[in-house]
Chain A
Amino acid sequence: MLSHFHRFFWDGNEQLIWINSGGKQAYIPNKNLKFDLLLNTMSNQTIEYLPILIQFLVALGFVATTMVATHYLGPRRKSKIKLDVFECGIEAQGNARIPFSIKYFLVAILFVLFDVEVIFMYPWAVNFKELGVQGLLEMLFFMALLLIGFFYIMKKGALKWE
């Protein structure tokens, strides 16, 4: 963040004093009255967040400009075949919006659960020696908790496909 290294002070008269990381002072002459009025009304605390606001505006402006520009720059051709469903060049058959079995959803959610468990094991494996026995016990406890859950869903029959 800019405020960690640079400070802006308003000396109340004509100049904005800018102290950079080296402790050197620089004077920004008063040229733009509107900007000065804006700074005058803001406290020092608020001014420190000004770069963030500017960055936010730039980000927003970039997205808006790009989206509008592509609509004007890119050529467009809307034929029936172009707007058709893409099915690897073969004519689409039937409707894609058909009911799917809820089991897909269940299996997917369970996959995410155990996937996250494995992701947690990576940093533990990297720092295995540093974490020592305590780390091992904590990891075993964590895995045991999830294993209990795993046996629970098995008993509930969530993994039975038929």
Chain B
Amino acid sequence: MKEILKSSEGTTVVQSPPGYEGPGFFATSLDKAVGLARKNSIWPLPFATSCCGIEFMATMASTYDFARFGAERLSFSPRQADLLMVMGTIAKKMGPVLRQVYEQMAEPRWVLSVGACASSGGIFDSYSVLQGIDHIIPVDVYVPGCPPRPEQILDGILNIQKLIHSESLRRRNSPEYKALLSSYGME
């Protein structure tokens, strides 16, 4: 398996998960195989509302090339998305929209909060701005910065990948996860 996953340049792109290897076969646990597949084929939904969205565009472009992490295909419908990337100021009026987009995503789903505004409201300590999207939806990884550089966004993605890779297959049906959702008033 390690040989198969080597790229044309000869460098290993994806490390095979720990498992039992012999001549002509490789065995690992289902969790690890599924985690490996999910981690390297994220379909992000970019929810870009302001300047962090511009940084995200730079992240997608050739210099930083977000696609090399397996996230080639952006999904603009929550139905096919794994990862909700919230980038920018979320006004309180936008809150229900963001919440509905999150709720309409298929499980398993992850949320990346990019920038100070999405994470905490940032400089907009104002009556109209949501003071962090974690008031309405659960967030997995926060990326600081105002706006963060593309490297920081990529760092956030790598952390999301770590979470995806190590997630148990049972997590989404666990009582803890259900409790987390119900604390946000979701089913």
Contact = CB atoms under 8 A, between A and B. Distances in A.
Contact of A81 (B30, B79, B100): B100
Contacts, number: 45
B58 interface: no
Interface in B73-114: 77-79, 96-101, 103-104, 106-108
Which 4 A-B pairs have CB atoms at the shortest separation, nearest pair first? A75-B172, A89-B97, A79-B187, A75-B107
A81 B103 CA distance: 7
Interface string A57-82: 00000000000000001111101111
B26 to A, nearest CB: 18
Contacts of B187: 77, 79-82
Given A73-B34, A77-B172, A77-B187, A82 B97 contact: no
Contacts of A75: 107-108, 169, 172-173
B78 A86 contact: yes
7 contacts: A74-B108, A79-B186, A81-B187, A82-B103, A82-B187, A88-B101, A89-B98
Nearest to A75: B172
Interface in B22-43: 30, 34
Interface residues of B, number: 21
Interface of B: 30, 34, 77-79, 96-101, 103-104, 106-108, 169, 172-173, 186-187
Nearest to A80: B187
Contact of A86 (B34, B77, B98, B107): B77
A90 B97 contact: yes
